A and B are shown apart, each in its own frame.
Chain A
Amino acid sequence: MFQTIYKHELKENIKSISFYIFAVVLFSIAYLNASNTSPGMVIIIQHGQSLHNAPVFIARFMAIMSVLTLLFTVRMVGRSVTKDFQANIHDFYFTLPMCKAAYLGGRFFAGITANTFIYLGAFLGIVIGCSVIDVKYVGTHQLSAYLFTMFLILIPNIVIIGSVFFSLATLTRKMISTYVMGVALLMIYFIVALGIADTSHETFKTLADPFGIGFLEVVSKYWTIAEINHNLVPLNKLIIMNRIIWLSISIIVLIFTWSRFKFVSVLEIKGVRNNKIKYIIILPLTKTKNIFIKYGSYFFPRPKEKLISIGKEASEAKIVEGYDRIPSFAIDDSFVSQLEKCLRLIIIEFKRIVFHPAFILITIVAMLQIYINFTGHDVMESIKYPITSTYLDHVKNVDIFLILITLVFSGIVIWRERDYQSNELYDIIALPDWMRHFSKLVSIITMQLSVLILCILLGIFTQVVIYGYTKIELGLYIKSLIGIQLFRYFYLAVLFIFVQNLASNKYVGYLVSVLIMVIGAIIPQYIDSDISLFLYGKLPDYIYSNLNGFGHFTAILIWYQIYWLCLACIIVVISTILWRRSNETSLKFRMKNAANNFNKKYRLTLSVLTILWLLAGCYIYYNNHVLNKYITESEQKLKLATYEKKYKQYQNTPQPGVTHVNLEAELHPEDRNVFIKGFYILQNKTQNTINEIYIGLSDRKITKINKFAFSSEIELILEDKEHWFSIYHLQEPLLPGAKLRFDFDFEILTKGFSINNPKNELAHNGMVITNFPLLPPEYLPQIGYNQYLELSNHYGREQYGLHVHNHHISLDDSIGLYTTAFRDLVTYEAVISTDKSQIAVTNGELVKSWTENNRNYFHYQTDSPMNNTLVIHSGKYQVMKQTYDGLNIEVYYNKNHAYNIHRIIDGVKSAYDYCSKNFSPYTYKDLRVVEVPNCWAFLRGALSTPTNFSWSEDAGFIDDLNNEIAPDNVFPIAAHEMAHQWWGHTVRPASVKGAEFVVETMAMWVQIMCMQREQGLEKTREYLKYEMMDYLRSRGSEIIEEQPLIYSEGQGYLSYRKGVVAVYALEDYIGEDAVNTALKSIVGTYGFKEAPYPTSFDLIKAFRSVTPDSLRYIITDLFETITLHENKAESATCTKLGNGKFKVNLTISSKKLRADGRGNETEIPVNDYMDIGIFGENNEDLYLKKHKIEINRMAIEIVVDKKPVRAGIDPYLILIDRNRENNTVEVEGI
């Protein structure tokens, strides 16, 4: 029996159209994923430098796909019994002589088999996808990798998902609620997965994830590229346990289904109310009790609602006679009455939506997600004050839910009458044409509004009740959620309803709606021009800042809103005209009918709307393309490539250096205009005469150049505005040592708005102007060729005909050694004026400030030379001033962000003390910290310039430091940035590989030492632990090659994360003073010196010179190579000695590995000094000393005074070790 059913069902499944559609979809995704070699694009998983068919990728891809395409399984497996109910042929089956197990089992397993076949499409996609790309991306296909994925990941996942939804659908006999549950469970899974992603309890993480994704993550956490490429996923105890646990759960679910299922035509009314099962099976699954009882009511019906049986009713039937005529009534046909009818329709529809279990479920999940995200935080991440803008960032999570319910309910609402066969009853009621459509649309919008209001209430509730925070910004809530977001959802609702109105059935409507959404999301990635006016309902990106508010984004947002609103209204009108209002539902008929009904009123409305829409579109286009220039991403890349091709030839031509910068800047923050006048003093610092001067200045920000003038006769021989390059020929060559004055005068005007070049740094409050070399020369002219503008490999140099190069220059490069990213040392003078309400800040010393013509003027000056990396700020700032040891510390901050100013000052003081004591006295008199708005996207944290640092509002100003759980990240940033005044602004490294080791790693060194003084050893160790984990985790996603620390090139995980671990280890071996002696010598030799500039080699040399011979190997291990240790305490036993002391016999093992840039490891002999530690009660240090470990396995005997509890090797993880837990063991004995 089973076989017959199974075979028949399998055949049916394989014949179904969805079988092929699903297989093709899976194939395509797998193909795209496997063949995707563009590094910027991630389809499902990022391959980086690893092989695209690496075993762990195949496993992870299939695991993720089995979850993402969960609805495929719901359809194939979940529907296998329910379709009988839908087709109403269940009675035929139920009367056949067969047993339940054969029927259910046959259907279920046929579904599982067919579904497995579908996923074979994905495997095929991987293989074919790999075959079309360059062989360097592909390794040999390992059959065992595919088999592992198939039998341990894919099939179990299908069985687990299939069994749950099969049971749900079979017992409820309802497919739509099963789909909704599918989506809801998917969401819940993502939330829970996010929740447990951070847990350090790896066993739990592995077992709790039913789909094996957690397992794959845990086991490959620290894998290097080499390991990813070649290692098979280990078949360990954990994955077997995981599969056993979850498959047993599915079996239980299936058995439950079998026991509850009955061959009955209609669900029994007097079913056994088995509360126990309900509570055991249903509730723990979800915790959203009420909803499940609602769902549960289908198979645990509430007894109070009796179904009236036909027979009983008939017997009671009496012939009714002699009734009077219907009481007379008045029919009110007035407009008010029509409105009332409309309101009535809206209310009834709205009620049906909000009491729908899917709505309740999804809303609860959405609110939970927002709440959990808002109140939770990652380990090592700081807790922010619950300010409204932070909350609103988290509310963005509601997006997917709101889109989902808008989609679902647009279908339900539009098709409701037809689904319940009451359409004919409604269609013959005399209602105005617009009313049915309008009422349905409004009910959807009301639903969206109510969800958003719920978000606002949740936010206020959390702020007030949970946090006791009472600065409620109701206006901001309303502007952001109602003024911006609600409109977005409205546009979607209009679109979905339009589609549903035209579609031939609900599911076609859903499909088309989803397709439109997907296409809308994909298209922008492939189209490289301004399509913002064609992406229906898409608003420009905006950033809300607590300093700047919505600022200059307001205008662009309003115009796009007007544009889309007009279009949405046009669609509403068309949708109304085409409304399905009789049994003539064919589109052709409706079009014809619409043409007949297209009366004056419609014509007028449509033309007014269309004119408004087009006008708004023209105005937006005028702003984006006429007032401002629109440059696409590829145009920009092409510009950079052309710049390099045309002008790299001038890189080595001697150019004068800047020795003095003088600026007169007039800032107009209210209309975002800046007028800059000034001059450079240029000096020929080379040994050669200079004939030509190259000036770079971008037209991206500069609107108009009024003057470019030199103090000697000069001829402009090339002006390439496109590529920011001009060549001036000196009539009289500039001799070595000679000087020249270069005057400039230009205007930066903001005209209208631009989606392409919004100039976010020119904020109304918190304007920032810089001249950093890493950016195109936007605000101040640059001298000479700018190598930092060259395209990096990551952005496809090859595509533009440029040779592949390493971004940085090798350590012995002669040009590199004579250039520095910190540029010339200059003296600087600036007079900056700004609006009366604002303060302007720049580098140097404030010599005078005054008010004139209703404007504030600030005169800054410095006589001691500083790096030519300048920044100008202007904003409405509060100022906190403190004098400390002759240093003038000033913090410029927003009045609402006063929370952590003292911590910033503490950090500055701490690093100031540390550096001036250990390296050199601070050169300047001032140190200013300026808060900048987050709309300056260049800056995510803080950035140091001479005498100043700019600090983003999000990176610490609103951190809540009054708690024990989260770390204080403000003090470390302040100390780190202060340290850059020495490491970066005093010692200026050469522009070669490893420059960031000199700058960032040394700043990390100061930072960690300050933290240790401030927060104690324990917190410092905790901090280092996460830095090491971060380093180890980042290795696998390296996109070029991991470098030894001193060669790091643009690799933050090396210079910051590994760097701090390594210098801390060095300190552990040779002592803090020795490290600082070495660093002091570097500051002494290279501080404020011009070329040649120091490199990481110079630092290593200095370290070596302070390290005893016996320990010098550690410098090689930490800085010059990639070295990893595998230390393990095997066992520790203890015997009590006669004198009351304890003897510990400790056995340890130790392995030392060298890795290459791709993570291929070779074992090298151990011959190292390592900590051996023994700990008593409460982690008391009983013994901690470095022992020389010369063999891989060693027994050590140590006598301690107190009772030992734990013992081990390198217990504090000074050395880099992937397996930290096994470094110590419990001491046995006694």
Chain B
Amino acid sequence: MNLEVRNLSKTYANGVIALKNISLDIPTGMFGLLGPNGAGKTTLMRIVATLLEADSGNIHLGNINIRKEKNRLKKVLSYLPQEFGFYPKARAYDLLDHFAMLKGIKDRKNRKQVIEHLLKRVNLWDVRKQKLGTFSGGMKQRFGIAQALLGNPQLIIVDEPTAGLDPAERNRFHNLLSEIGEDIVVILSTHIVEDVSVLCTNMAVINKGEIVLQEKPLNVLSDLKGRIWEKKIEKMKFSDYEKKYNVISTRLFSGKTFIRIYNEENPDNGFSPCQPALEDGYFYHLNKN
């Protein structure tokens, strides 16, 4: 079951154009949606999750017309919003039970099994009787994932899940996501390139409401092969280099400035070739437009 986005546009009431005629094909498996802050990722996610109304365009999940058959989609949809909270006095187990019930898992024994499985899986089983108000950020995020795995989702949307997580939590989160079956559509929206390179088999880059790249990460890397060069430079000379080369990124290391450029051939001038990373592709395509 693929997710097809066709000619989707959205302009907010205050005049901000969030999406400009976007089309995307998202196959099953993990799909990474990359983009800087304010690129329109969350808007797109929310439209797909029925939480926002598009001005024009179509979205289909298999044979479900999402804009028209919201309730049909909701039956197979899971969504982990970018920011969310829970009633702080509710206890983890009770609230998950509550959601399970609402999602239609009616049989009590069955529900108990599922909840136990999920809570163990997100490593919250020991704190299941604690109030959600006392959870740390990572625990809350994991609880969110457990909630998202409930039901029988065909489409899982995860919006910037790792923002604000420490490396260990992020790692654990990646593991959880990677276990989600490959026969359903999982959209992971993020501005962290590493998340995508670790998890996703397909990806798209969105910027200023437009898709600037849609490709498999492996292809992105292979396209860049031999075209990324790096050099340590004086900070003051940066503008010279910027004029002369297609600078993708700069980074500081031990107080020195390193720049990476895209060049089809060896630019010489002290540049050394280097292994392309997904990040290079991301920046390359962002800057290209």
Residue from B81, B98, B113, B139 in contact with A348 in the complex, judged by beta carbons closer than 8 Å: B98
Q: Which residues of A contact B169 (CB under 8 A)?
A: 314, 317
From 534 to 591 in chain A, residues with beta carbon under 8 angstroms from any chain B beta carbon are 582-584, 586, 589
Q: B267 contacts the other chain (Cβ, under 8 Å)?
A: no
A421–B51 alpha-carbon span in the complex (Å): 14
Beta-carbon contact of B135 and A344 below 8 Å: no
Q: A801 contacts the other chain (Cβ, under 8 Å)?
A: no
A319-B171, A326-B118, A421-B85 known; A582-B52 Cβ under 8 A: yes
Closest CB-CB distance, B79 to chain A, in whole Å?
5
Complex interface bits, A334-350 against B, C-beta within 8 A gives 1, otherwise 0? 00010011001100100
Residue from B81, B166, B175 in contact with A424 in the complex, judged by beta carbons closer than 8 Å: B81
Closest CB-CB distance, B167 to chain A, in whole Å?
9
Q: Which residues of A contact B176 (CB under 8 A)?
A: 320
Q: Which residues of A contact B166 (CB under 8 A)?
A: 310, 314
Beta-carbon contact of B104 and A428 below 8 Å: no
Closest CB-CB distance, A436 to chain B, in whole Å?
10
Residue from B52, B103, B149, B171 in contact with A429 in the complex, judged by beta carbons closer than 8 Å: B103
A306-B134, A331-B105, A332-B107 known; A317-B123 Cβ under 8 A: yes
A330-B107, A331-B151 known; A582-B134 Cβ under 8 A: no
Residue from B81, B89, B149, B152 in contact with A331 in the complex, judged by beta carbons closer than 8 Å: B152
A320-B172, A584-B53 known; A330-B106 Cβ under 8 A: yes
Q: How large is the interface on A (under 10, 10 to 19, 20 to 34, 35 or more residues)?
A: 35 or more
Q: B88 contacts the other chain (Cβ, under 8 Å)?
A: yes
A330-B106, A344-B101, A421-B84 known; A430-B171 Cβ under 8 A: no
Q: Which residues of B contact A237 (CB under 8 A)?
A: none
Closest CB-CB distance, B117 to chain A, in whole Å?
5
Q: Which residues of A contact B51 (CB under 8 A)?
A: 424, 427-428, 582-584
Beta-carbon contact of B46 and A341 below 8 Å: no
**Interface stretch among B21-29, B70-78, B194-202, B236-244?**
B70-78
Q: B102 contacts the other chain (Cβ, under 8 Å)?
A: yes
A428–B77 alpha-carbon span in the complex (Å): 7
Beta-carbon contact of A420 and B85 below 8 Å: yes
Question: Closest residue to A317 on the B side, CB-wise?
Answer: B168
Beta-carbon contact of A325 and B181 below 8 Å: yes
Beta-carbon contact of A352 and B87 below 8 Å: yes
Beta-carbon contact of B149 and A344 below 8 Å: no
Q: A425 contacts the other chain (Cβ, under 8 Å)?
A: yes
Q: Which residues of A contact B137 (CB under 8 A)?
A: 310
A314-B166, A428-B50 known; A319-B83 Cβ under 8 A: no
Q: Which residues of B contact A321 (CB under 8 A)?
A: 175
A317–B127 alpha-carbon span in the complex (Å): 13
Q: Which residues of A contact B117 (CB under 8 A)?
A: 323-324, 326-327
From 52 to 82 in chain B, residues with beta carbon under 8 angstroms from any chain A beta carbon are 52-53, 71-72, 74-75, 77-79, 81
A360–B40 alpha-carbon span in the complex (Å): 45
Residue from A308, A313, A326, A330 in contact with B149 in the complex, judged by beta carbons closer than 8 Å: A326
Beta-carbon contact of B102 and A341 below 8 Å: yes
Question: Closest residue to A428 on the B side, CB-wise?
Answer: B79
Beta-carbon contact of A310 and B138 below 8 Å: yes
Q: B179 contacts the other chain (Cβ, under 8 Å)?
A: yes
Closest CB-CB distance, A1136 to chain B, in whole Å?
77
A337–B101 alpha-carbon span in the complex (Å): 9
Closest CB-CB distance, A584 to chain B, in whole Å?
5
From 282 to 332 in chain A, residues with beta carbon under 8 angstroms from any chain B beta carbon are 305-310, 313-314, 317-321, 323-327, 329-332
Q: B114 contacts the other chain (Cβ, under 8 Å)?
A: yes
Q: Which residues of A contact B46 (CB under 8 A)?
A: 424, 583
Q: Which residues of A contact B98 (CB under 8 A)?
A: 344, 348
Closest CB-CB distance, B157 to chain A, in whole Å?
9
Q: A774 contacts the other chain (Cβ, under 8 Å)?
A: no
Beta-carbon contact of B113 and A425 below 8 Å: no
A317-B168, A320-B176 known; A327-B121 Cβ under 8 A: no
Q: Which residues of A contact B122 (CB under 8 A)?
A: 320
Closest CB-CB distance, A19 to chain B, in whole Å?
29
Complex interface bits, B93-120 against A, C-beta within 8 A gives 1, otherwise 0? 0000011011111110011011001101
Question: Closest residue to B137 on the A side, CB-wise?
Answer: A310
Q: B263 contacts the other chain (Cβ, under 8 Å)?
A: no
Q: Which residues of A contact B106 (CB under 8 A)?
A: 330, 332, 337, 340
Q: Which residues of A contact B81 (CB under 8 A)?
A: 421, 424-425
A318–B135 alpha-carbon span in the complex (Å): 17
Beta-carbon contact of A422 and B49 below 8 Å: no
A326-B117, A337-B104, A337-B106 known; A422-B86 Cβ under 8 A: yes
Complex interface bits, A452-496 against B, C-beta within 8 A gives 1, otherwise 0? 000000000000000000000000000000000000000000000
Question: Closest residue to B75 on the A side, CB-wise?
Answer: A430
Complex interface bits, B142-179 against A, C-beta within 8 A gives 1, otherwise 0? 00100101011000000000000010110110011001
A352–B137 alpha-carbon span in the complex (Å): 24
A499–B138 alpha-carbon span in the complex (Å): 37
Beta-carbon contact of A431 and B102 below 8 Å: yes
Q: Which residues of A contact B102 (CB under 8 A)?
A: 341, 344-345, 426, 429, 431
Say what secondary structure dominates the interface of chain A.
Answer: loop
Q: B13 contacts the other chain (Cβ, under 8 Å)?
A: yes
Q: A759 contacts the other chain (Cβ, under 8 Å)?
A: no
Q: Which residues of B contact A428 (CB under 8 A)?
A: 49-51, 74, 77-79
Residue from A307, A333, A348, A421 in contact with B134 in the complex, judged by beta carbons closer than 8 Å: A307
Q: A416 contacts the other chain (Cβ, under 8 Å)?
A: yes
From A314, A325, A326, name the one whose CB has the most chain B CB atoms within 10 angstroms: A326
A267–B152 alpha-carbon span in the complex (Å): 41
Beta-carbon contact of B136 and A308 below 8 Å: yes
Question: Closest residue to B76 on the A side, CB-wise?
Answer: A430
Q: Which residues of A contact B214 (CB under 8 A)?
A: none
Q: B250 contacts the other chain (Cβ, under 8 Å)?
A: no
From 830 to 867 in chain A, residues with beta carbon under 8 angstroms from any chain B beta carbon are none
Residue from B79, B114, B136, B175 in contact with A320 in the complex, judged by beta carbons closer than 8 Å: B175
Q: Which residues of A contact B113 (CB under 8 A)?
A: 327, 329
Q: Which residues of B contact A318 (CB under 8 A)?
A: 123, 172
Closest CB-CB distance, B243 to chain A, in whole Å?
41
A422–B105 alpha-carbon span in the complex (Å): 20
A1080–B171 alpha-carbon span in the complex (Å): 110
A319-B175, A329-B111, A583-B51 known; A430-B74 Cβ under 8 A: yes
Closest CB-CB distance, A299 to chain B, in whole Å?
16
A429–B70 alpha-carbon span in the complex (Å): 10
Q: Which residues of B contact A320 (CB under 8 A)?
A: 121-123, 172, 175-176
From A309, A337, A348, name the one whose CB has the most chain B CB atoms within 10 angstroms: A348
A583–B144 alpha-carbon span in the complex (Å): 19
Beta-carbon contact of A330 and B85 below 8 Å: no
Beta-carbon contact of B171 and A323 below 8 Å: no
Q: Which residues of A contact B75 (CB under 8 A)?
A: 331, 333, 430
A898–B176 alpha-carbon span in the complex (Å): 80
Beta-carbon contact of B79 and A425 below 8 Å: yes
- Nearest 4 interchain pairs by C-beta: A430-B74, A421-B85, A332-B106, A331-B104
Which residues in A have some Cβ–Cβ distance to B below 8 Å? Answer: 305-310, 313-314, 317-321, 323-327, 329-333, 337, 340-341, 344-345, 348, 352, 416, 420-422, 424-431, 582-584, 586, 589, 593
Which residues in B have some Cβ–Cβ distance to A below 8 Å? Answer: 13, 46, 49-53, 71-72, 74-75, 77-79, 81, 83-89, 98-99, 101-107, 110-111, 113-114, 117-118, 120-123, 127, 130-131, 134-139, 144, 147, 149, 151-152, 166, 168-169, 171-172, 175-176, 179, 181
21 sample A-B contacts, Cβ–Cβ < 8 Å, listed by A number: A307-B134, A309-B136, A314-B138, A314-B169, A317-B138, A317-B168, A319-B171, A320-B123, A326-B114, A326-B149, A327-B113, A330-B105, A331-B75, A424-B79, A425-B147, A428-B74, A428-B78, A428-B79, A430-B72, A430-B75, A430-B103
Known: A314-B166, A320-B175, A324-B117. 15 other contacts (CB 8 A): A308-B135, A314-B169, A318-B172, A321-B175, A326-B118, A327-B113, A329-B111, A330-B106, A331-B75, A340-B106, A348-B98, A352-B89, A428-B78, A429-B102, A429-B103
